[in-house]
């Protein structure tokens, strides 16, 4: 055992609850306060102690160079009760086998084939908007990304039951997202209506997803979606995924793959609505490059401000706001001893606000990404999709989707946020808004009314 000291805990822990009350009151502010205290500072949430890793180099050790010493933290593993052996929650050989089987379905060239469906879904959404219509932007984006991921994953097989899937996923995330059940597992055994609803939601998801897998197998596969690729995939020993393994992966992809991108899009529209100069510059770029055409994957290289807008949105309001790991053996980090079982948290919310790398960190400045900032930053100063072997498998899918949907909708519509207060969040598994984001959809301004001259577009 090393003689290095243990990392410090933040002051103010109460008996039993620890820092739980302060954390629950405002998790994001609480993590920022830990980061301000030092390189590795801990909190106690009920029975669990967790330490925030703040420095990019330390994060790189945990996620990349020494990733074998860590697995997913207790909170994430708690999700395994729903997601089974899906990629997000599995470990070791099972994870590796599944990752290898799924990887070809997420290659850049493969993903590009979904581009036209993404743009078309967004176009239908934009065309259906009445001038001045007032709606909940977050609910709209959730429906749109569910439709897109449903089409890419299953073609149209889930279509009639997509709404059931959406409701069931929502119920499950609500229940597991706060981490309460992981901290206090006995809650699950109480005869509470919430527990009943969760069991019902899981039964619905099993029913729909296993039904889709079995029906497709019975038809002998076929189709151009991800489901058909997964059904055909085999490992080196010639083994494919069982129905149960397929169910776990599909559930994981549905869960990981639609809400995150819906949040990125919702927050991008909010930030643009509150930053008219950035919005005008973006519109000028889109009008110059696209004219009347729907965007395609080929256009994206000529739409740098679209990409910069998405990167800046993911910086300020990262849909995945924290990543957790647990030490599976004793190790050391930042000069401290890390005993086996230590929970480490790594937070995009915190790192993406580090003024050393992002001057004026609270300002929405997409242009900061135009001069090669991505390549100049330390690897873990900015990591909306994580990093190392467990990096998000859907990162290209989601960047493509967010770019195409944003450009398509902006061609036709202006999204005006009606609430002037800053956004407030409930950090669950993802960084959700506290309530509906009420917006008015208006026709996009005519190109000649834009305030930024087209010559200003890089
Ligand atoms: C803006 C959108 C997205 C964000 C911010 C995001 C973020 C992340 C992050 C941070 C991780 C790593 C978690 C960890 O290391 O513990 C992750 C993993 C994962 N994501 Fe995403 N994601 C997004 C979209 C998607 C999409 C569209 C899909 C699928 C269609 C997807 C599927 C997954 C899966 C399966 C994993 C687990 C990978 C593994 O462990 O091998 N994500 N995501």
How would you write the pLDDT of the chain (458 residues) with one tens digit per residue?
Answer: 678 999 999 999 999 899 999 999 999 999 999 999 999 999 999 888 999 999 999 999 999 999 999 999 988 888 887 888 899 999 999 999 999 999 988 988 888 889 999 999 999 999 999 999 999 999 999 999 988 988 888 776 666 677 788 788 878 777 665 555 555 666 666 666 677 788 888 898 888 888 888 888 888 766 678 888 888 888 888 888 899 899 999 889 988 888 999 999 999 999 999 999 999 999 999 999 999 899 999 999 999 999 999 999 999 999 999 999 999 999 999 999 999 999 999 999 999 999 999 999 999 999 999 999 999 999 999 999 999 999 999 999 999 999 999 999 999 999 999 988 889 998 888 999 999 999 999 999 987 655 444 444 44
**Residue 217 and residue 68 share a domain:** no
Token pair in block for residue 389:
């072997």
Residues 106 and 154 occupy one common structural domain: yes
Q: Provide residues with CB under 6 Å of ligand 1.
A: 72, 87-88, 99, 149, 252-253, 256-257, 260-261, 264, 319-320, 323, 384-386, 390, 392-394, 397-398
Q: What is the rounded distance in angstroms from the CA atom of residue 163 to the CA atom of residue 147?
A: 10
- Give the pLDDT score at 405: 98
What is the number of the ligand 1 atom nearest to the C-alpha of 90?
40
Same domain, 359 and 449: yes
pLDDT attached to residue 453: 45
Mutate to test the pocket of ligand 1, among 394, 401, 402 (most ligand atoms within 8 A of CB): 394
What residues are paired with 331 via a beta bridge?
A: 338
Domain that holds residue 221: 85-320+352-456
Which residues lie below 8 Å from residue 320, measured CB to CB, with a gap of 6+?
A: 260, 348, 384, 385, 386, 392, 430, 431
**Do both 293 and 435 map to the same domain?**
yes
Question: Alpha-carbon distance 174 to 185, whole Å?
Answer: 15
Closest CA to 339 of 72, 1, 65: 1
Q: Is there a single domain that holds both residue 182 and residue 48?
A: no
Is residue 414 helix, strand or coil?
strand
Q: How far apart are CA 38 and CA 368, in angstroms?
A: 27
The alpha carbon of 394 and the centre of ligand 1 are apart by a number of angstroms equal to 6
- Give the list of residues 6+ apart from residue 160 with CB closer than 8 angstroms, or none: none
Between vectors from CA 246 to CA 241 and to CA 249, what angle results, nearest 5°? 115
Do 60 and 152 belong to one domain?
no
3-state secondary structure 266-330: HHHHHHHHHCHHHHHHHHHHHHHHHCCCCCCHHHHHHCHHHHHHHHHHHHHCCCCCCEEEEECCC
Q: What's the 75 CA to ligand 1 centre distance in angstroms?
A: 16
DSSP letter, residue 62: I
For residues 111 and 397, is the Cβ–Cβ distance under 8 A?
A: yes
Q: Do 332 and 440 fall into the same domain?
A: no
Are β-strands 40-45 and 48-53 bridged in parallel, bridged antiparallel, or unpaired?
A: antiparallel
Q: Can you tell me which atom of ligand 1 is nearest the CA of 401?
A: 27
Q: Tell me the C-alpha to C-alpha distance, in Å, between residue 130 and each of 134, 256, 268, 391.
A: 9, 31, 21, 40
Atom of ligand 1 nearest to the CA of 258: 27
End residue of a domain, out of 295, 329, 351: 351
Q: How many angstroms is it from 149 CA to the middle of ligand 1?
A: 13
Contact 268, 405 (CB under 8 A): no
Q: Report the distance separating Cα 152 and Cα 226, nearest Å.
A: 6
Ligand 1 mean position, distance from CA 13 (Å): 33
Residue whose CA lies nearest to ligand 1 atom number 1:
261
Same domain, 23 and 94: no
CA–CA dist 329, 340 (Å, integer): 4
Q: Which of 102, 103, 150, 256 to mutate to test the pocket of ligand 1 (most atoms within 8 A of CB)?
A: 256
| Residues paired with residue 70 on neighbouring β-strands, in sequence order | 327
Torsion angle of C-alpha atoms 115, 121, 122, 126, degrees rounded to 10: 150
What pLDDT is stored for residue 446 in this prediction? 80
263 and 335: one domain?
A: no
For residues 299 and 289, is the Cβ–Cβ distance under 8 A?
yes
In terms of domains, do 90 and 193 share one? yes
CA atoms within a 13 Å half-sphere pointing along the CA-CB vector of 255: 30
46 three-state secondary structure: coil
Which pLDDT tens digit goes with each residue over 209-232? 888 888 888 887 666 788 888 888
CA of 331 to the centre of ligand 1 (A): 27
- From 103, 392, 399, the mutation candidate for ligand 1 (largest count of ligand atoms within 8 A of CB) is 392
Spacing, Cα 440 to ligand 1 middle (Å): 31
CATH code, 70: 3.30.43.20
Whether residue 405 is found in the same domain as residue 260: yes
* Domain co-membership, 136 together with 113: yes
C-alpha pair distances (Å), 255 with each of 84, 87, 99, 194, 393: 13, 11, 17, 19, 13
Total domains in the chain come to 2
What is the distance in A from the centroid of ligand 1 to the CA of 391? 7
Q: Quick one: DSSP state of residue 444? A: P
Name the closest-CA residue to atom 6, ligand 1.
Answer: 385
Closest listed residue to residue 368, CA positions, set 379, 380, 352:
352
CA dihedral in degrees (123, 124, 130, 136; nearest 10)?
-90
Distance of CA 326 to the CA centre of its chain: 21
DSSP code at position 42: E
346-to-198, 343, 427 alpha-carbon distances in Å: 28, 10, 14
In angstroms, rounded to a whole number, what is the distance separating the alpha carbons of residues 217 and 211? 10
Query: What pLDDT score was predicted for residue 273?
Result: 97
- The residues, any chain, with a CB within 8 Å of residue 153's CB and separated by 6 or more, are 225, 226, 227, 250, 253, 254, 257
The CATH number of residue 215's host domain is 1.10.630.10
């Amino acid at each position: 055992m090393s003689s290095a000291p243990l990392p410090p805990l933040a002051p103010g822990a109460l008996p039993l609850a620890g820092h739980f009350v302060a954390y629950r009151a405002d998790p994001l502010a609480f993590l920022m306060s830990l980061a301000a205290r030092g390189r590795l500072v801990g909190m106690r949430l009920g029975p669990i102690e967790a330490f925030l890793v703040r420095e990019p180099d330390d994060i790189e050790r945990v996620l990349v160079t020494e990733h074998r010493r860590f697995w997913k933290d207790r909170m994430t593993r708690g999700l395994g009760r729903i997601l089974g052996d899906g990629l997000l929650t599995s470990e070791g050989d099972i994870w590796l086998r599944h990752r290898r089987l799924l990887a070809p379905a997420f290659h850049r060239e493969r993903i590009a084939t979904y581009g036209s469906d993404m743009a078309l879904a967004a176009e239908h959404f934009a065309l259906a908007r009445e001038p001045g219509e007032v709606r909940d932007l977050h609910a709209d984006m959730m429906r749109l990304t569910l439709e897109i991921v449903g089409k890419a994953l299953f073609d149209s097989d889930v279509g009639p039951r997509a709404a059931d899937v959406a409701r069931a996923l929502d119920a499950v995330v609500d229940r597991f997202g706060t981490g309460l059940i992981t901290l206090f597992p006995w809650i699950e055994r109480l005869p509470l209506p919430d527990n009943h609803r969760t069991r019902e939601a899981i039964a619905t998801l099993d029913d729909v997803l296993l039904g889709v897998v079995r029906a497709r197998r019975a038809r002998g596969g076929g189709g151009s979606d991800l489901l058909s690729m997964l059904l055909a995939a085999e490992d080196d020993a010639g083994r494919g995924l069982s129905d149960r393994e397929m169910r776990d992966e599909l559930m994981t992809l549905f869960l990981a793959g639609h809400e995150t991108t819906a949040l990125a899009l919702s927050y991008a529209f909010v930030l643009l609505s509150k930053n008219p100069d950035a919005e005008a510059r973006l519109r000028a770029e889109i009008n110059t490059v696209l004219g009347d055409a729907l965007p395609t994957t080929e256009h994206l290289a000529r739409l740098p401000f679209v990409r910069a807008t998405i990167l800046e949105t993911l910086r300020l309001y990262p849909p995945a706001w924290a990543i957790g790991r647990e030490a599976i053996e004793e190790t050391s980090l930042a000069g401290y001893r890390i005993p086996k079982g230590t929970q480490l948290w790594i937070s995009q919310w915190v790192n993406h606000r580090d003024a050393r790398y992002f001057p004026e960190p609270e300002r929405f400045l997409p242009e900061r990404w135009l001069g090669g900032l991505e390549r100049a930053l330390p690897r873990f100063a900015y990591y909306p999709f994580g990093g190392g072997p467990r990096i998000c498998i859907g990162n290209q899918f989601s960047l493509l989707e967010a770019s195409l949907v944003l450009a398509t909708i902006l061609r036709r519509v202006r999204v005006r946020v009606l609430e002037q207060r800053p956004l407030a969040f409930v950090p669950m598994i993802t960084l959700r808004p506290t309530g509906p984001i009420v917006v008015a959809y208006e026709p996009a301004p005519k190109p000649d009314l834009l305030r930024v001259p087209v010559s200003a577009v890089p």
